[in-house]
Amino acid sequence: DIVLTQSPALAVSLGQRATISCKTNQNVDYYGNSYMHWYQQKPGQQPKLLIYLASNLASGIPARFSGRGSGTDFTLTIDPVEADDTATYYCQQSRNLPFMNTFGAGTKLELK
């Protein structure tokens, strides 16, 4: 089974860069695409898509958010971090279908 590993938490200062990682134990690349996606979830809200296919910004998402990576190592970067960015960030793979073990456990972003 595919396993997605995220660090539980990250603390950064306002205006600084936040880098959130997601590592998989299997390659999620396929025919030139990396099937890795990122979501933001604020308390009491549903998840919101930020990044799809590793590096594509979802509609309406500010350019402060970016994604990169391939194979088994992926990162979500927020630069600069704003107060409104405090949330939990989840990665999701879709290389292995159906969607068993599709989500990481989430990284909670906090401000220092």
Partner 1 sequence: EVQLVETGGGLVQPGNSLKLSCATSGFTFSTAWMNWIRQTPGKRLEWLAQIEDKSNNYFISYLESVKGRFTISRDDSKSSVYLQMNNLKEEDTAIYYCTPLNNSGDYFDYWGQGVMVTVSS
List contacts with partner 1 (CB under 8 A).
Answer: 33, 35, 37, 39, 45-49, 52-53, 58-59, 88, 90, 92, 94, 97-100, 102-103, 105-106
Q: Which is nearer to partner 1, 15 or 98 (CB)?
A: 98
C-alpha–C-alpha distance, residues 48 and 46, integer Å: 6
Nearest-approach distance from CB 65 to partner 1, in angstroms: 15
Nearest-approach distance from CB 42 to partner 1, in angstroms: 12
Q: Which is nearer to partner 1, 80 or 99 (CB)?
A: 99
> What residue ranges in 1-112 does DSSP mark as E strands?
4-5, 9-12, 18-24, 29-30, 33-34, 36-41, 48-52, 56-57, 65-70, 73-78, 87-93, 107-111
Q: Which is nearer to partner 1, 7 or 14 (CB)?
A: 7
Q: Which is nearer to partner 1, 12 or 106 (CB)?
A: 106
Provide the 10 A C-beta neighbour count for residue 22. Answer: 29
Provide the 10 A C-beta neighbour count for residue 36. Answer: 31
Which one-letter DSSP state was computed for residue 32? Answer: T
Nearest-approach distance from CB 49 to partner 1, in angstroms: 5
Nearest-approach distance from CB 69 to partner 1, in angstroms: 15
